[in-house]
């Protein structure tokens, strides 16, 4: 099968709202290319390499891009048409040009390229004092004495490179207690729920609207010796499917609920989270851009949570509440 690689040009401030709109169209697998993030990553991780290919630098140069992939057939073309229509509406709301040009470029990509070319961007990432996130094709001598999470992220969100994921991992590292029960909403690659189990949680349940995430999360769990006896991955819409909400509630209550998504999902989700949590349980919400932080705080507090801490990395926030 051939695929269309669709690049949407935006700004760092446009990443979160653009991804939120794509999410609402049912597109949850995105690739974010941002020159500032890339250069910052290189600058702060020099100990892991002494040479970076100039072709890779050139590829990351220029405007911020959000890439999606649709099949090169009628279904994919219909998806692309819906994206174009939504971008017109999005642009009309941006009178101050905060979100950039929102122009679209389309390239055809063969399946083997789609599956493998992106791997060159992923290197081991050290998070907090105890954890290292390592692509399964990379090696680390003796694990450096760390808890090593091996990952094959696939074409989905959650490789550990983005600030929001790192903020959640750091929070889990200091929050998870032995035997805890964890619910991961918008699990993507499964990174957060699997790491929670590796940190000592006794059971984890992961949910995502994208059916592809189920296979990827289970695969990543197997890479790290996590079995289905303690790990369950389900696909469904936790916002609008009442039956799915009910089954999630019955599987609880949970000690920790983590949602690394976007503000437009966290805000309505805040009214339901309490039904999944134990009394005194922890809600970790991330994926929040600076311009939306006040809205998310208000939604969380309005629904009976007390904010314990707000973490920030660059323009991204993570809210920890009980």
pLDDT in tens, the chain (322 residues): 678 888 999 988 888 888 888 888 888 778 878 766 655 654 554 444 444 455 555 555 567 888 888 888 888 888 888 888 888 888 888 888 888 889 888 887 666 665 566 566 567 888 888 888 888 887 877 656 788 898 875 544 556 667 888 899 999 999 999 999 999 999 888 999 999 999 999 999 999 988 878 888 999 999 999 999 999 999 988 888 999 999 999 998 999 999 998 888 899 999 999 999 999 999 999 989 888 999 999 999 999 999 999 999 888 899 999 9
* pLDDT at 93 (0 to 100): 83
CA-based diameter of the chain, in Å? 54
Please state the pTM of the whole predicted model: 0.65
Query: Which residues, 6+ apart, have CB-to-CB distance to 48 below 8 Å?
Result: 123, 124
* pLDDT at 157 (0 to 100): 53
For residue 241, the surrounding DSSP H or E stretch is: none
Closest CA to 65 of 139, 11, 26: 11
Q: How far is CA 185 from CA 78, 107, 174, 227, in A?
A: 28, 32, 19, 19
* pLDDT at 60 (0 to 100): 52
* pLDDT at 97 (0 to 100): 87
User: Regarding beta strands 131-135 and 125-127, do their DSSP bridges make them parallel or antiparallel, or are they unpaired?
Assistant: antiparallel
What is the Cα–Cα distance from 77 to 317, expressed in whole angstroms?
Answer: 35
Q: How far is CA 126 from CA 114, 144, 145, in A?
A: 27, 10, 12
Q: Are 32 and 162 in contact (CB under 8 A)?
A: yes
* pLDDT at 120 (0 to 100): 62
* pLDDT at 32 (0 to 100): 79
What is the Cα–Cα distance from 43 to 278, expressed in whole angstroms?
Answer: 42
């Amino acid at each position: 099968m051939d695929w269309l690689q669709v690049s949407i040009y935006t700004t760092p401030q446009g990443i979160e709202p653009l991804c939120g709109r794509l999410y609402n169209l049912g597109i949850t697998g995105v690739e974010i290319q941002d020159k500032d993030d890339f250069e910052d990553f290189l600058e702060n991780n020099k100990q892991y390499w002494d040479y970076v290919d100039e072709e890779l630098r050139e590829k990351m140069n220029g405007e911020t891009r959000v890439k999606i992939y649709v099949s090169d057939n009628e279904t994919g073309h219909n998806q692309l048409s819906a994206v174009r229509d939504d971008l017109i509406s999005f642009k009309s709301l941006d009178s101050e040009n905060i979100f950039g040009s929102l122009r679209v470029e389309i390239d055809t990509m063969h399946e083997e390229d789609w599956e493998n070319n992106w791997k060159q961007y992923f290197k081991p990432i050290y998070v907090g004092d105890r954890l290292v996130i390592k692509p399964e094709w990379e090696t680390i001598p003796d694990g450096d004495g760390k808890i090593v999470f091996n990952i094959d992220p696939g074409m989905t969100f959650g490789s550990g490179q983005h600030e929001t994921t790192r903020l959640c991992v750091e929070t889990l590292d200091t929050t998870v207690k032995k035997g805890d029960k964890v619910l991961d909403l918008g699990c993507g690659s499964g990174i957060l729920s699997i790491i929670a189990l590796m940190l000592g949680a006794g059971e984890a349940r992961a949910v995502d609207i994208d059916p592809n995430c189920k296979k990827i999360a289970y695969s990543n769990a197997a890479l790290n010796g996590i079995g289905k006896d303690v790990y369950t991955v389900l696909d469904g819409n936790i916002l609008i499917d009442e039956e799915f909400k009910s089954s999630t509630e019955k599987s609880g209550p949970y000690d920790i609920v983590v949602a690394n998504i976007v503000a437009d999902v966290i805000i309505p989700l805040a009214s339901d989270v309490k039904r999944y949590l134990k009394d005194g349980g922890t809600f970790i919400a991330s994926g929040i851009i600076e311009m939306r932080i006040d809205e998310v705080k208000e939604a969380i507090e309005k629904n009976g949570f007390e904010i314990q801490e707000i973490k920030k990395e660059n323009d991204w926030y993570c809210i920890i509440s009980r």
